[in-house]
Each structure stands twice: as C-alpha cells, then as structure tokens.
Amino acid sequence: MDFLPAFLNIKDQPCLVVGGGSVATRKVELLQRAGGRVTVVAPGIEAGIRALDPVPVCLDEAFEPRHLNGMTLVIVATSLPGLNESIARQAVSRNIPVNVVDNPALCSFILPSIVDRDPVIVAIGSSGAAPVLARLTRTRIETLLPAALGTLASLAGKYRQAVKERFGTPTERRRFWEGVFEGDIADQIYRGRAGEGERQLQALLADGDLDFPPAGEVALVGGGPGDPELITMKAVRLLQRADVVVYDRLISDAVVDLARRDAQKIYAGKTSSKHSMPQAEINDLLVELARAGKRVVRLKGGDPFIFGRGGEEIGELMKHHISFQVVPGITAASGCSSYCGIPLTHRDHAQSVVFATGHLQNDSVDLDWESLAKPKQTVVIYMGLLGLETIASELIAHGRAPETPVAVVHNATLPDQDIVIGALMNIAERVKVAGLVSPALIIVGEVVGLHDRLNWYGGVAG
C-alpha cells in the first residue's frame, strides 16, 4: 500500500489553498464541506471562489512561505510546476500535509474519489496511478448504495449510546444493528419513511427481543426490457437481499444473475398464448412465500404496471395483509423506442402515444379501432405479433393511411434485437418473410419514419 487511507478531522482547522482558478475552487469547496477554515492565496482569484458560501479568506497576492504558518494542511493548485514543487518541499519540511493537484510524486496525501452518503463516506483511491479508473469505480459503488444510506447512518448514530446501554455485550449489539440494517427498519428509511423507521427502531430497542421473526414481504420489481443495465438501482438492491426471486419468461438471465447466488430462483414463465404457471398459482405462491418469512422479489419484464398484471398481484397481497412495494421498470415501448431510434412523440409527427395490448383475454383482438386510428398519434401494441394482420387491416379500415409506417421489433435492447419496417399495408407479410418471433412490439405511426436517420443501436432494417 502506497498511502494510508484515513479520514482527517479538519473541522475549524486552518487550511491553505494556493491557486485561484477552477481547480482551486473545487478544492476549497471540498475542504469547506469537511468544515475546514480555508485561506486562498493567488494573484488573481476567480470570482467563483469569492462567491462560495462561506467566503474563504482571499489573499490576492503571490505565495510566500509565511502563508504556511499555522496551517493544518495545504493544497497546491497553481499552473506553475516550479512553484508547485517549491511549496510542496516547504510544506513537507515543516511537516504540513500537502497535496499537489495531479502530481502524486509531490503529495504527502492524496484526495480520493468519494461516494457521499454523509455521514457514510466511501473513499476510493488508486495511489495516484489511475484517477479516471478510481472515478469509474466510484460510479459503480454509487449505484450500489441507496441514496438514503446516510439517513440510516445518522439514525444509528443518534441511538448508538442508547443501544450500548440497553445491550451489554458487543455480540448483542452487533445482532441488534444487523437486524436494523438488514431488515424492515432500513427498508422504511430507503423508502423515504424515516419517521416510521425511527418508530420501529425505538420499539425494537424497548422490546429488546433479538430473535426478530423474519417479516416476509414481496417487492414487485420491473426488470426492464432486456438489457440488464436498464434496471433501476432500487431493483438491484432488492434483488441482492431477496431470499426468493420469482421471475417471468421475459427476464434475461443477466438480470436474474443480479440476485444473490444462494437466493432461490423460481421460474414462473409465461408465453403469450400459454401460461406455464397460472396466475392464480403465482398469486398463491407469493402469499405463501411471504408468510414463510421470505423476502420475495417478483421480477417482471418491463414495468409491472404495464400489461404486467402487477395490479392483480398486489391486490392479492393486500387481501392477505402482506407487506409489499412496487418498483417501476423501463417498459418495452421505451426500450424499443430508444434502441430503434424511434421517438414515440415528435413535434411534427405525433402529439400523443397510446399503449395497447394485441392479446385479449378471450384471444380476440377487439380494440377501440376508431380512437387508435386517429392521425398524429403513435400506437404501440404489446403482444400483438399473432394479431398483426388483423391490427393492420382494422387500422386501415378505420381511416389510418395504408402507407402509415410500422416497425415490429423483436428482443429490443438485447444484442440480437431485430427490427422489420414496413407500412400498414405490407407489414404482416414482411414480418412473416423475416420470420420474426415473439417477444415483439409493434409501433405504428409517422415517427417510425425517423428510424432511418436516428437508428444508432443496429438491428436489421427489413
């Protein structure tokens, strides 16, 4: 290890920043966030520095050795290599920790990339070898930590002493905190209900029973349209703490793999015409698992509330008083639209967009054709591949021009995404010739004409 990772307490301590440009401004801000009392010295200090709150002491003059007097640390950010080096040597000889921006060789300390969930701070350094890599690593960690982690940590800080008094041994205290951080209390806070979380923590503290009965719960989670990176951060967090994941056919393996390795994974796959696990059975399964104290993630393709039967499933959970939450996902229409370069609305072509299902409960396609055929509107049809011919001819019969462009997209957002483009009058034939299979989404409207120009992701235009 080239550097010792440590967190410095600089509250109310005098800190010096040499340099008055934009890099110096960022350093002043950082030091002030940690409570440092900052003095900036440079001939020509940028207005941005004087606009900071609080305004640091600004000495509009050239650096002199006396500026180091009494300083706790110094950051050097001038554009003059000779000056930077000279200040660094003086600081080191006076045992003042020094950082020279972008010059690790002259630094006695370096500033890490940080993930800020104050009071939880994650610091990432690369010993000066690869700052960009450190920043990218930071981005990855950023996505793993809930935004409200800091709130949770602050709450823990508030009750730390009380917990110490309540539980005599370190083992008891550890169990208490693990229960708090991995259970319902943390969850309440992550869901933005800090008051309820605190109330539960107080109850647990008063009760003192460390054998928490595991409280079962279900999270109805949108898994997005396919590309695993299109899943939300909340979905990833819930997947990583789930005991059981119940997933659909449209969920890609890479998304299921985001769950803990030892989580139980149950496939409840469905195809459009055949339900391999009847909906009633899925509902019962969710209730049963939650009652057994499991944390269940019910992972659905796209968004659970768009043709996902999410409403039916939570209706059932409510009936049985099972705690649940719903996490939205990117629906197939959005995924297809972005990855095919087909904006769903456009000032010149479509002022509204309608999502419809092409598969009805009694296997017929019986939609409000009149309203779907309206001009200047994009129509997105889910589960419509089987009924494509009917859909196209009904739209024409109800007044939409036969030349209206149509796209049918298979496996949008995945590497094997495939797209067939045509018009209402010929799309059914083209799709047949191309041999396109389910899952596929149909987009009808003038916006499809933009695909030629805006397509950035690839796929074969048929």
Residues that bind ligand SAH (CB under 6 A): 225-226, 250, 272, 300-303, 306-308, 331-332, 335-336, 382-383, 409, 411-413, 438-441
Minimum CB distance to ligand SAH, residue 300 (Å): 6
DSSP code string of 201-269: HHHHHHH----PPPPPEEEEEE-BSS-GGGS-HHHHHHHHH-SEEEE-TTS-HHHHTTS-TTSEEEE--
Residue whose token pair is 């928490």: 212
Shorter beta-carbon distance to ligand SAH: residue 148 or 381: 381
Residue of 243, 248, 303, 418 marked catalytic: 248
Residue of 27, 234, 270, 300 marked catalytic: 270
Tokens of 197: 């979380």
Count of helices and strands (H, E) across the chain: 17, 17
Q: Catalytic residue at 270? A: yes
Minimum CB distance to ligand SAH, residue 136 (Å): 28
Instruction: Give whole-number Cα distances, 5 to 75, 122, 127, 381, in Å.
Output: 18, 11, 10, 55
Q: Catalytic residue at 248? A: yes
Minimum CB distance to ligand SAH, residue 164 (Å): 48
Minimum CB distance to ligand SAH, residue 286 (Å): 17
Shorter beta-carbon distance to ligand SAH: residue 115 or 443: 443
Minimum CB distance to ligand SAH, residue 82 (Å): 59
Rounded-to-integer distance, Cα 225 and Cα 301, Å: 6
Rounded-to-integer distance, Cα 286 and Cα 290, Å: 6
H helices of 294-331, in order, are: 310-319
Beta strands 244-247 and 264-267 are parallel
Element (H, E) at 161: helix 149-166
Rounded-to-integer distance, Cα 226 and Cα 205, Å: 43
Minimum CB distance to ligand SAH, residue 283 (Å): 17
Tokens of 231: 């899943």
Half-sphere exposure of 440 (CA within 13 A, CB side): 23
CA-closest candidate to residue 330, choices 298, 297, 303: 303
| Nearest residue to ligand SAH, scored by beta-carbon proximity | 302
- What is the three-class DSSP state of 136? helix
Minimum CB distance to ligand SAH, residue 356 (Å): 11
Minimum CB distance to ligand SAH, residue 430 (Å): 17
Peptide bond before 228: cis, by omega within 30 degrees of 0?
no
Q: Which long-range contacts (CB under 8 A, 24 or more apart) does 153-162 make?
A: 153/117, 153/119, 153/120, 154/119, 155/189, 155/194, 155/197, 155/198, 155/201, 156/180, 156/181, 157/119, 159/201, 159/205, 162/205
Active site residues: 248, 270
